[in-house]
A = this chain, B = another copy of it.
Amino acid sequence: MVCRKTADLPRSELLKLSAELEEQYLEFKKRGVKLDMSRGRPAAAQLDLSMGAADNVTNYIGVKGADYRNYGLLDGIPEMKQFFAELLGLDAADIIVGGNASLNLMYDAMVRLMLHGTAGEKPWKDIKKVKFLCPSPGYDRHFAICEHLGIEMIVIPMKEDGPDMDMVERLAAEDEAVKGIWCVPLYSNPEGICYSDETVERLSSMKCAAKDFRIFWDNAYGIHHLYEETKLRNIMESCRRAGNPDRVYYFFSTSKITFPGAGIAMVAASENNRREILRTMGIQTIGYDKMNQMRTLNFLRNAANTREHMKKLASSLREKFEIVLSALEANFAGSDMAAWHTPRGGYFVALDTLPGCARETIRLAAEAGVKLTPAGSTYPYHRDPRDSNIRIAPSFPPCGELREAMYLLCICIKLAAVRKILAE
């Protein structure tokens, strides 16, 4: 589709458009709406579909006779490992079951690398500069971990099939300070991009100057399809095949399958990596909540049942995604004021405004009562170099409110664009 360049419109047309938009904006503002679309939270109606995951647990004696009410089993109950293995096509022996948050497992992994290093290499705290590759736009909480630990972040542009692999390969091969990469390989946060087989293979087999280069594989939306299933190549296998079995930590959780914050997280890793993980884990805790592992499992049961459950969640989410996308389509088809990807799963829609307009768009929306993810959040250090990316989280508000919010957002995108062009 050929985009009409807004900046090329005659000034008279821009002025007319501006006047209309200002009026629409003021009208909306007067209504005193209050909506929060800043985070990817499920709606209450969606959580209602998982109430079985809050049921009481009576089957607390495990397959091997252990009492899950008591201490023991640092790396998780065997039933839960088996479940994750079946669900994700992993090897149960590779899996360590954690607490309620995969983010915490990622943070712990990064802290372990800082304090103790891996594979006999220097702890990262003792290296002058540690750099991480950050495909962007990306997940703000990944970037926050790096920032908190003083790890320098390098922005890697996203393409249709994952991060710009030419750039990733070049930086990994050239610079031994480059110690790893963040990846959300399926329905990336926020754009909903899926890594191609080739991207997975290149990540698994590329030459790295740092012997302790690590891929943080956050498969947060691994079974969160809105439509048909998108296949993701198994990176554990491709790393093994490429002779780099220790390169990847594979994270997953049930936070957006049952309850955010009350789910079960896991990390899969090679034998060497598991030994290191468990050595530190055995210092930090006696064990995670096995009763909640059993509780979650009682509800999800097996992979097939979980996929059926995800279809129910998808049908409640799909309508919301379609509200967002059809509003964008109706307002911006053939315009350069907004560009977006059409995600087939995950939790977000990301759009790009005209350069230099994201912050102002978000400010305008907030002033009229709709809170969005803060501008810049999807980039390292909260610095979106083009000030154009906006993350939309459609999951939380009911459909009516979401329509209202999108109505306002579209006005704000246009208003910010037109004001900017007129001021130039």
Contacts and interface: CB of A to CB of B under 8 A. Distances in A.
Contacts of A44: 67, 69-70
Which of A50, A262, A291 has most chain B Cβ within 10 Å? A262
A37 interface: no
B280 A100 contact: no
Contacts of A280: 148
A286 B72 CA distance: 26
Contacts of A103: 284-286
B70 A42 contact: yes
Interface string A185-206: 0000000000000000000000
Nearest to A43: B70
Interface string A269-296: 0000000000010011111111110000
Interface in A62-120: 67, 69-72, 99-101, 103-104, 107-108, 111, 114-115
Interface string A42-67: 10100100100011111010000001
A124 to B, nearest CB: 11
Contacts of A99: 99-100, 289
27 contacts: A42-B70, A47-B69, A54-B69, A54-B291, A55-B56, A69-B259, A69-B261, A70-B259, A70-B260, A100-B285, A100-B288, A103-B286, A107-B284, A107-B285, A111-B115, A115-B125, A115-B149, A141-B283, A144-B283, A145-B283, A148-B280, A148-B283, A261-B288, A261-B289, A261-B291, A289-B289, A292-B292
A108 B42 CA distance: 29
Contact of A47 (B70, B100, B149, B292): B70
Given A284-B103, A288-B261, A70 B41 contact: yes
Copies in the complex: 2
Contacts of A291: 54, 259, 261-262
A39 interface: yes
A73 to B, nearest CB: 9
Given A125-B125, A260-B286, 7 more contacts: A47-B67, A99-B99, A111-B115, A261-B286, A261-B289, A262-B289, A289-B292
Which of A54, A60, A145 has most chain B Cβ within 10 Å? A54
Contact of A104 (B42, B145, B284): B284
A56 B56 CA distance: 4
Contacts of A67: 44, 47
Contacts of A57: 54
Given A44-B67, A111-B115, A261 B287 contact: yes
Which of A41, A57, A100, A107 has most chain B Cβ within 10 Å? A100
Which of A149, A285, A287 has most chain B Cβ within 10 Å? A285
A104 B334 CA distance: 54
A138 to B, nearest CB: 16
Contacts of A292: 262, 289, 292
Interface string A140-182: 0100110011000000000000000000000000000000000
